[in-house]
């Protein structure tokens, strides 16, 4: 079991240059962040606000 979070961590996603997935991933992330689901997920898994 993992203990308390010691510091915030940012993550990135790397794709090959010109990847056809880039636009789809960007749109999916934006759609998720605009919904209540993003905040619920953060609160559920990280115990805080997004």
pLDDT tens-digit profile of 6-34? 666 677 889 999 999 999 998 988 888 88
- Predicted TM-score of the model (pTM): 0.53
Q: Is-contact 15 21, C-beta < 8 A?
A: yes
Q: What is the DSSP string of 19-41?
A: -THHHHHHHHHHHHHHSHHHHHH
More confident residue, 25 or 2: 25
Sign of CA dihedral 37, 25, 34, 7: positive
Angle, CA 30 vertex, CA 26 and CA 34 arms, to 5° = 175
């Amino acid at each position: 079991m993992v203990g308390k979070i010691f510091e915030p961590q940012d993550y990135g996603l790397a794709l090959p240059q010109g990847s056809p997935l880039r636009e789809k991933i960007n749109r999916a992330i934006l759609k998720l962040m605009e919904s209540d689901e993003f905040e619920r997920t953060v609160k559920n898994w990280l115990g805080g606000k997004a």
